[in-house]
Amino acid sequence: MNFRNLVNSIFRFVIGGIICAFISNCAFGTAKIKLTHETLSEPKVKRQGTIVLEKFSDERQADKGGEFIGNKRNGYGMVLGHVAIDSGKVDSVLTSFVGDVLKNTGYTVIYNTQITNAVADITSVPIMTGKIKECWMDMYMVANAQVAIDLSLLTPDKKETLWQSNISGGKVNLLWWGIKSEFANVYKRAITFALDSAQQKFSSEEFVKKVRK
């Protein structure tokens, strides 16, 4: 082997190693992404009323820790790595997103963590609770993100259910590079779809009547 062939072999080896390292970094380990939603559209009608918003319960079967939101798979379907949120827990993040929608629709939102003696009397304010049924992405050639939350509006004493509904959203997209920005973008679209659905429901006459009941 002459010098030129040796140099070419070393060059190919180095480039191959870089490519393998890049692919391994995308497929193996945990990729942490920030969950976000697109700018909420303005509702056709602004509503009024006050709602206490409790932190949602995370009832997903796939994740018991509250941080993982997806699997990364190889060409054979084997799980090689995971996707997780970069900070906080899924329950807190999705609760805050629904709070964003309520406020965008015109409601005054009081988070139950903010309730103190200084807060005005809320004995007549309905309470919104939620059960997170799905917030998961599976990646096998495509990224498939699904979000689903069961929402309930309860009387202030929680003894009666005033309103119930499910909001959900999904997005499927081809994976070109398998990088974090692709994961985050697919999730953003799925979450935004679910939040748009929620805003339509919060704007309805049926819902506002239950809030003022």
For the chain, the domains span 31-212
Judge whether 60 and 135 are in contact, CB under 8 Å. yes
At 71, the pLDDT band (50, 70, 90 cuts) reads confident
The label of the residue with tokens 């609760």 reads: 95
Tell which CATH classification among 3.40.50.10610, 1.20.1260.10, 3.30.450.20, 3.20.20.120 matches the domain 31-212.
3.40.50.10610
Q: Indicate the SS3 state at residue 5.
A: helix
At 198, the pLDDT band (50, 70, 90 cuts) reads very high
In DSSP terms, which residues pair with 35 in a beta bridge?
A: none
Claim: this prediction has a pTM higher than 0.85: no
At 24, the pLDDT band (50, 70, 90 cuts) reads very low
At 212, the pLDDT band (50, 70, 90 cuts) reads confident
Residue 61 has pLDDT above 90, yes or no: no
The pair phi, psi for residue 65, each rounded to 5°, is -90, -15
Judge whether 50 and 107 are in contact, CB under 8 Å. yes
Between 20 and 70, residue with greater pLDDT: 70
* Percent of residues, the chain, with pLDDT higher than 90: 59
**CA distance to 58, 146, 191, per residue, from 132 (Å):** 5, 11, 12
pLDDT of residue 6: 52
Name which of 97, 103, 100 is nearest 49 in CA terms: 103
Q: 203: Cβ–Cβ under 8 A, 6 or more apart, which residues?
A: 43, 44, 45, 47, 105
Helix extents (H) in the chain: 3-27, 90-105, 180-202, 205-212
Q: Indicate the SS3 state at residue 160.
A: coil
Helix extents (H) in 42-170: 90-105
Is residue 72 exposed (0-12), middle (13-18) or buried (19+ Cβ within 10 Å)? buried
Min mean pLDDT across 40-49, 88-97, 171-180 is at 171-180
